[in-house]
Amino acid sequence: MSRSRFDNLLSTSIASVRVVLRKAFRSLVVFSGASAVFAGCAKNAPQDTWQPKGPNSKIIDDLQQPVFAVAGIIGLIVAVTVIYTLIKYRDRGQPIPEQTHGKPALEITLTIIPALILAVVAVFTFGAIFKLAKTDDTEMIINVTGQQWWWEYDYPVQNEFGITQPIITSGQLVMPVGTKVLLRETSRDVIHSYWIPALNGKRDAVPGRVQTLRLEADEPGIFAGQCTEFCGLSHANMRMEAVALSKEDFAKWVANQQAPYVSPAKDTLAKQGEEVFLNQCVRCHQVNGLARADGTPAIAAPDENVWSGAAPNLSHLMSRNTFAGAMFDLLSKQCRDEVWNAPSDVVGAKYLAGVTEECLNQKDLRAWLRNAPEVKPMYANPANLAVSNGKYRGMPYLALSEDDINKLVAYLVTLK
């Protein structure tokens, strides 16, 4: 092959590659833009920040709507100007125009206008911050504790709500509608962040500190949330839900949570499951009222086995709709949809029905009991626990037999 022929072939190949790359780049731009636009049309978006469901989130929404509009208009002006300039004055081999430096009048104007816009935004932002920080008219408090990778809620004694003994639960925060609820947040291990977008903004849960966050819901419903501070391996699976119930329904929920423990009837599969629970699960999980065969209370010892010193209290487990840090539903998909899609006047009744045997999501619950670290990433491999003094972060593999799993499922369903 002659030298000139080789050069021609090389330049033709390079030109072809450039054309392909240019087409690929254009396709990527169009695809990315379309994805961004159409993502805004999603109907199933439970963590949509643009749909406030309570006064606190409305304060944020009232602030972000005009700011977003102003920022959008400015962004559009800048983008159109840049694109117009890029196309109109692109390099066509023309001589470089005369270079000038500095136009004081223009520069001062372009400094004052953004400063004024930001000053106006700041005035309304400060107002919103002070409104959101108000706590002196609190009507109810709930202590919220984050740990890898689930949220614990404890309700101190508050007689006006019928809470005559502390209630402890996890995954789902239950609250009465139209009530100013103050969350007192902290953490047992690393920094987490609590966020139910429909009800308020975010607040970090920091070990050793108590931070407050106000929640209030206008109507009964279930609102999804997500830990928003990276907190380790299963951060993405650290979810939560806030369940707002009418005051009557909330009173029923409180009464159920305070109901005494009922042991399964003798000679049933559930009773055998209780024995498995006492032998295995009670090392970390507390069920209030559960007693050993000799009558002594079964006290869990998560402080001896878990890095954070706590594991979810499973009393009245089936009154919740989720488990494993709200990563999995306790309800089957059909039953869950019935609760989530219920109108606000009946959602309370559907939620209070709890998890029946027919509605139980057996698949995920059994998978969890069979090998929890396989379905939710956790630091639970005994060979790698030297850094945490042999303590788990998450639930370990328990090597339960299928027979034990059957018994346990039968028992857990009784924890209404």
Partner 1 sequence: MFSTGFKYFFGVTVLSVVALIMSVALFEKLALVGVAISFLIAVGALLAGLAAFTSDGTTRDANTSTSELVTQSMWPLISAVGVVFLALGLVTSSVVFFGGIVVLLAALSEWMVQAWSERASTDLSHNTAARKRLLNPIEFPVLAAVGLGVVIFSFSRIMLTVNKSTGAVLFIVAGALVLVAGTLFAIKPNLKRSVGAAVCVLGALGIVAGGVAGAVSGERVELVEAAAEGHFSHAECGPEESKYFDKLAEGTLSLRSNVSAIVVYQDGELIANVQGINSPQKSITVARSNPTNIVFRNATEGEFRLVAHLGHSVASDKTAAGESQDKSHQDTTCTQLVAPGAEQSMTFSIAKPSSAENAYYLYIAGSEDKKIEMVVP
Binding site for partner 1 (CB under 8 A): 135, 138, 140-141, 143, 145, 152, 154, 156-158, 165-168, 182, 184, 186, 188, 207-212, 286, 288, 297, 299-303, 308-310, 313
- Tell the smallest beta-carbon distance from residue 371 to partner 1 (Å): 26
* Closer of 206 and 269 to partner 1 (Cβ): 206
* Closer of 240 and 360 to partner 1 (Cβ): 240
Q: Is the dihedral of CA 292, 294, 297, 298 positive or negative?
A: negative
CA distance 232 to 393: 10
Query: Beta strand 140-147 with 181-187: parallel, antiparallel or unpaired?
Result: parallel
CA distance 300 to 280: 10
- Residue type at 155? Y
* Closer of 138 and 371 to partner 1 (Cβ): 138
**Omega before 150 cis (within 30°)?**
no
* Closer of 14 and 210 to partner 1 (Cβ): 210
- Tell the smallest beta-carbon distance from residue 263 to partner 1 (Å): 17
- Tell the smallest beta-carbon distance from residue 291 to partner 1 (Å): 11
Give strand pairing partners of 360.
331
The 10 Å CB-count burial string (b at 16+, else e) for 109-141 is eeeeeeeeeeeeeeeeeeebeeebeeeeeeebb
> Nearest 5°: CA angle at 396, between 393 and 397?
160
Answer left, alpha or beta for residue 97, where phi above 0 means left and psi between -120 and 50 means alpha: beta
- Tell the smallest beta-carbon distance from residue 324 to partner 1 (Å): 20
- Tell the smallest beta-carbon distance from residue 303 to partner 1 (Å): 4
* Closer of 67 and 163 to partner 1 (Cβ): 163
- Tell the smallest beta-carbon distance from residue 65 to partner 1 (Å): 30
* Closer of 307 and 328 to partner 1 (Cβ): 307
* Closer of 72 and 289 to partner 1 (Cβ): 289
- Tell the smallest beta-carbon distance from residue 158 to partner 1 (Å): 7
* Closer of 302 and 348 to partner 1 (Cβ): 302
CA distance 78 to 354: 54
- Tell the smallest beta-carbon distance from residue 396 to partner 1 (Å): 18
